[in-house]
Structure 1
């Protein structure tokens, strides 16, 4: 604007000199503002990524016993070489997707562990996905009660992992609607999982394991889930 005035307005050298100096100050302020804005954006992005790394980690499917050595700590819990307590969760459902379906959850901490859980799904939706989500939620709640600070959830449910790491943030921003504007089917259970993850300081890792492939912990969690489904009246 000032340059336009100089080019098309006054010819007074004194005024032109003052206007040019003023324009230089405006340019400097604009550049400084741009740099500050860029720095703030960088800091926010860095903090965001740091937060994601600090409380959420995902490992793709591999037979875990072949990859990370596990051992029992003093309390009998299974701990890997990185200090994460390993828990296996699973869900099972008879007649999944049909009338009369019955689902159960299984949470396995170790052989003969008093913390192992086998129970029916709560609520009106009895599906495999519901059971998988509820199993993970229960495991996180238990971990807090056991004083665990680093938890590695082993699950064969890629759906649950995707919900947590890819989809849930957008669903919440969109009032729990999918990209095609349909209600999220497992909203109630996912909200419960989200609330549980947000409590306290718990470093979470999600490890996807292959179901029914001979992984001992997964097989035990599946056994507990199947038994839980049979508890339904």
Structure 2
């Protein structure tokens, strides 16, 4: 650990992690809207920056372990709605005779509340019952409908999608498209930061890529994005039709959540975050969206530097070492 701790600058003249207050102060003093904080460890400082970069209006619920490892960008349920105390989910529905119903035109039989993903799934007659199942539940999926049939169809559709996902191929199968992606940055956030990235293919190591990131604003996050871009490019080369699923393993939750949770909102809001500031690294995010196309990608988070010898940890270490070596070559 640096003697004086680590200073994380999420918004300033230059963003990144600094080891002295003097360096940090130069980035934030008299800078409108600056965001910075001191931490004991470098990982905490990086997490602060990552969290700011991905700031959304969606509430951040505590992630149960079993729900935070894998994220699919296909067959995804509607996102959880942001709820205020005593607020019911907003909805617009159309009845069989074409009458449009909104929150101001309650159906004569009352609303039916469908919970497709929550503590308990099913159809409920009151919002009070449904709210218990979805409030603060990570990625809860729910909606209200004017008829019971529509509510049940919503729940069943989600169940079908989930069953389809459970039938995904095993990434350890040598016939699958699998990539372990990692980025590395030396003196991250500084002007002359040296960065590198690596994309490792465990089933075909001759495809492996390890490159230095040569640009004025090189950062660890940009290196992570470049690694994922290499994975998509290789998948498109081997499978031009995009019919095969691509597995991308990464230790960057910012990358994973950007591509599976936030990207749609950013595009709708003209690449602005909830606080009105521009989304960082828009250029690379747009390239990722374009390269992905209609391909199904399964994003899998893997912990870094575990020292374990299991299949995931082993290949993640290979990617980490390759990215670091590339950064040192700058």
> Which TM class, normalised by the smaller chain length?
0.5 to 0.7
CA positional deviation for 1:161: 0.6
Over 3 Å counting, the alpha-carbon distance change for 1:33 and 1:216 in structure 2 is same
Deviations 1:120-174 (A, max 9, x none): 1254321111111111011011111122711110000000011111111111111
Structure 2: distance between partners of 1:113 and 1:172: 35
Q: Tell me, what secondary structure is at the counterpart of 2:218? A: coil
| Counterpart mapping for 1:1-233 below 5 A | 32-34=97-99, 70-73=172-175, 79=176, 85-110=177-202, 113-147=205-239, 149-198=244-293, 201-213=294-306, 214=308, 215-232=313-330
Task: Measure, in 2, the Cα distance between the counterparts of 1:132 and 1:123.
Answer: 14
Cα deviation for residue 35 of structure 1 reads: 7.1
TM-score, scaled to structure 2: 0.47
Structure 2 Cα separation of the partners of residues 117 and 31 of structure 1: 55
| More helix, by proportion | 1
Runs of 4+ in structure 1 deviating by more than 6 angstroms, as ranges, are: 35-39
In 2, the alpha carbon distance for the partners of 1:128 and 1:145 equals 26
CA distance in 2, matches of 1:120, 1:36: 56
Distance 1:101 1:88 in 2: 23
The whole-number CA distance in structure 1 between the counterparts of 2:100 and 2:218 is 54
Give, in whole Å, the separation in 2 of the partners of 1:112 and 1:140: 15
Matches of 1:105 and 1:97, distance apart in 2: 16
Please report the RMSD computed on the Cα atoms of aligned residues, expressed in angstroms. 3.0
Q: SS of the residue aligned with 1:140?
A: helix
Count matched residues.
172
Distance 1:98 1:35, change over 3 A: closer
Structure with higher RCO (Cα < 8 A, 6+ apart): 1
Residues 155 and 123 of structure 1: is their aligned pair in 2 closer, same or farther, counting only changes over 3 Å?
same
Assess, with a 3 A threshold, how the Cα gap between structure 1 residues 221 and 33 changes in structure 2: closer, same or farther: same
Structure 1: which 5+ runs fail to align?
1-29, 58-67, 74-78, 80-84
